[in-house]
Amino acid sequence: MPELPEVETTKRGLEPLIINRTIISVHIYKKKLRWKIPSHLSKTLKQKTINNISRRAKYLLIQLNNGHLVIHLGMSGSLSVVPSTEPLKKHQHFEIKLDNLTSIRFNDPRRFGSILWQEKGEQLKVMKNLGPEPLSYDFNNDTLYNSSIGKSKNIKAFIMDSKIVVGVGNIYASESLFLAGISPKRLSGKTSKNRYKILTKAIKQILTDAINNGGTTLNDFSNVDGNPGYFSQVLSVYNRDGMPCIQCDGKIKRIIQNQRATYYCSRCQH
Ligand SMILES: [Zn+2]
């Protein structure tokens, strides 16, 4: 599943290929993704120039003069830029043809992704109530601690809550807690300010490393293959249950918290 680092890598990969390009036509091959792709897009996007692309949480925002095309990759989505003449592949549900004979294509086998339109001056419901970006200055030593006061949920669920901080998915939550030496079972409201400081640093570090690793896939971005590929990176605890901890040689444990698998070392994380 594409997490924040993959979405950021997609953004960086698309940037040089689509900015300042003009949209010639829009093609919706399969309307029904997570939500219906608005059918007015063919009209709304036609002849508009792409001014910018940015990311907010796991949403990609393609900026035009009249608003933003908002794309979420869902469980299995990916974007690619290919020659427009390339035959359409099975799971390519949406296409934007650009003025240089290339196309942005949205590929999504499981169809949990979404393509939405945000009119200029408006804010989509899905973009509201989002917490700070984990790699921004707004997410700092005080942020997590201040929002933890009085909270009763476990710390893993707490850092995965997008109202608290966006983009910390299941893998990165486990990895960040391991790096910070904090047990995922600890209660968020009963964790010290100093430990939140260490955790904040760990979250930034884990996500930055993942993005930097993902950078290597950028060269393949416009491959005919049309798939940026979700990068597998070196993980310390995630998916390693029963295997030796890289720090203490103890066994990595797997538990279920809030219906999600959590991996941790009970010796290194308290
Ligand atoms: Zn350990």
Is the separation of the CB atoms in 83 and 120 below 8 Å? no
Q: 3 catalytic, yes or no?
A: yes
Catalytic residue among 58, 105, 156, 253: 58
Is the separation of the CB atoms in 110 and 131 below 8 Å? no
pTM: predicted TM-score of the whole model, two decimal places:
0.90
Contacts of 66 (CB under 8 A, 6+ apart): 44, 48, 119, 120
In this prediction, residue 246 carries a pLDDT of 96
Query: Per-residue confidence of the chain (270 residues) as pLDDT tens digits?
Result: 788 988 998 999 899 999 999 999 999 999 999 999 999 999 999 999 999 999 999 999 999 999 999 999 998 898 999 999 999 999 999 999 999 999 999 999 999 999 999 999 999 999 999 999 999 999 998 999 999 999 999 999 999 999 999 999 999 999 999 999 999 999 999 999 999 999 999 999 999 998 887 744 444 444 334 444 455 567 899 999 999 999 999 999 999 999 999 999 999 999
Cα(236) to ligand 1 centroid in Å equals 10
Cα(198) to ligand 1 centroid in Å equals 17
In this prediction, residue 76 carries a pLDDT of 87
In this prediction, residue 212 carries a pLDDT of 83
Q: How many Cβ atoms from other residues are within 10 Å of residue 211's Cβ? A: 18
In this prediction, residue 237 carries a pLDDT of 95
Q: 34 catalytic, yes or no?
A: no
In this prediction, residue 224 carries a pLDDT of 35
Q: 87 catalytic, yes or no?
A: no
Cα(253) to ligand 1 centroid in Å equals 10
Cα(246) to ligand 1 centroid in Å equals 7
Report the candidate in 125, 140, 118 with the shortest Cα–Cα distance to residue 54. 118
